[in-house]
Structure 1
Amino acid sequence: MNYYYITFEFSIEQFFIDIDLNLDLKVEKQLYFDIDDAPSFVEDNFIISSSNQNATDYIYKWPNWASNCVVLFGESGVGKSHLANIWHNKAQALKVTLENIDFKDVQKRKNILIDDFELYSNKYNDLFHIINLINEINGYLLMTSKVNPASLSTGIKDLDSRLRNVTPIKIDRPDDFLLEAIIIKLFSDKRILIDDRVIKYILKRSNRSASELIKLVNIINNKSMEQKRAITVPLVRDVFSDVGY
């Protein structure tokens, strides 16, 4: 069994081109890349499909938004953080968490990004003040969440009112094209080029949710590393058997 260890940079678009040009990855061979596997949120790697087209169009309309505060919401793994980070770069925004907020920095930078804001329920009072400050200084606040902000009950009536008045932008569950692209992207973030037969096998037998694909890819990669096996259909079949598919 042959393994190749190489290092280079590529965009997801080039990745598709390579596949289209018959890269000819044999089942018994696997390309591993010796690079940190942190997710790549660069703009060129964002994949647009019917499920995220509306959200993408709205983000790119900035600064011509309907309100100063916008929330991207949808299930885990649909691309909220990726799209938010594209805006973060375009708007030269400050990315903060509610656990560690400096209001002087907010006032100075004006454009603010907060990921998964609903997780910081103990800091909702700070969020209320951030929203007020953003409106006062004519800045912009982009937040991501797994839930529609209008459905939250924070225990702070004024904050609930503010959240009902933000602009909610939903990213839908991924369509077939995006699901396949997500699998490719998840493996490419780990610097692994994956065989098309493996992709088709995963899609056919998984529950087709982005959050589940994230878990599956991690399990598949871990099993591959532990057993020193290339990621092939037989290995993925073993994983599915292990997790009860």
Structure 2
Amino acid sequence: MARQLSFELPARPARGRGDFFVSNANATAVALIEAWPDWPARKLVLCGPEGAGKTHLAHVWADLSGAMIVQAAELAGADVPALASAHVAVENASDIAGVVEAETALFHLHNLALAEGRSLLVTARAAPSAWAFALPDLASRLQGTPTCMLEEPDDTLLGAVMMKQFADRQILPSPGTITYLTRRIPRSFEAAKRTVEALDALSLSTGRPVGRALAAALLDKSGG
């Protein structure tokens, strides 16, 4: 039954391998994550738009490999040798492009982890070729790293992403709601995220369940 009471419940993302829906847009990335012991030079850059599943796949990889996960923005103050003692995933690395202290830490982490026989996963919105690096040595190492791009979703993946986002918020939409939405919103992860958030907020404010009628009211209001 769809949620009908207006309790604001925290979203708790499920990030296990079984919670990740595979489609043509991400099948190559999933295969690479699962085959991580065979990565050339033991490293991979995983990039794609916000909401494409980069963080989810980083957690899947951490479960498979025992890796630690660190945000790139936290590297400047991190214990790099300790991070390099295990396989490591660096999230949102494109955010530190041009930040010398953080780039320097990532450069040392890259070199030390690989020297210790560890594997390195880097996630970012864009491929390293598009980053405005401050350190040429880091640029050469990351631009020479095998890179996999997660694509914008097809209709099937878009529906699965929205269903997962609703589930993370403990919401069960009425039958037909997801199909109705995927035919009317832009085909992007960001649009799916905004729509789920807006429907959750509208449901909370009105006390109405998340269903096709509420979705229609939201899209009419937003001009969708």
| TM-score where L is the length of structure 1 | 0.82
Aligned twin of 1:106: 83
What are structure 1's unaligned runs of at least 5 residues? 1-24
Question: Which of 61, 64, 76 is the equivalent residue of 1:90?
Answer: 64
Deviates more, 1:35-44 or 1:139-148: 35-44
Within 1, Cα distance between the matches of 2:135 and 2:85?
A: 26
1:158–1:205 Cα change, 3 Å: same
Question: Which of 144, 164, 169 is the equivalent residue of 1:165?
Answer: 144
C-alpha displacement at 1:152, in angstroms?
1.3
Retained in 1: the 8 A contact 2:92–2:125?
Answer: yes
Retained in 1: the 8 A contact 2:80–2:105?
Answer: no
1:34–1:220 Cα change, 3 Å: closer
Aligned twin of 1:119: 95
Question: Which of 167, 170, 180 is the equivalent residue of 1:188?
Answer: 167
Within 2, Cα distance between the matches of 1:146 and 1:243?
A: 27
SS of residue in 1 equivalent to 2:60: helix
Residue 62 (str. 1) matches residue 40 (str. 2) = no
Retained in 2: the 8 A contact 1:68–1:139?
Answer: yes
| TM-score where L is the length of structure 2 | 0.90
Residue 202 (str. 1) matches residue 171 (str. 2) = no
Aligned twin of 1:147: 126
**What CA RMSD, in Å, does the superposition of the two structures yield over aligned residues?**
1.9
C-alpha displacement at 1:40, in angstroms?
0.8
Higher relative contact order (CA 8 A, sep 6+): 2
SS of residue in 1 equivalent to 2:183: helix
SS of residue in 2 equivalent to 1:193: coil
1:107–1:114 Cα change, 3 Å: closer
Retained in 2: the 8 A contact 1:73–1:80?
Answer: yes
Retained in 2: the 8 A contact 1:68–1:134?
Answer: no
What are structure 2's unaligned runs of at least 5 residues? none
Retained in 2: the 8 A contact 1:49–1:177?
Answer: yes
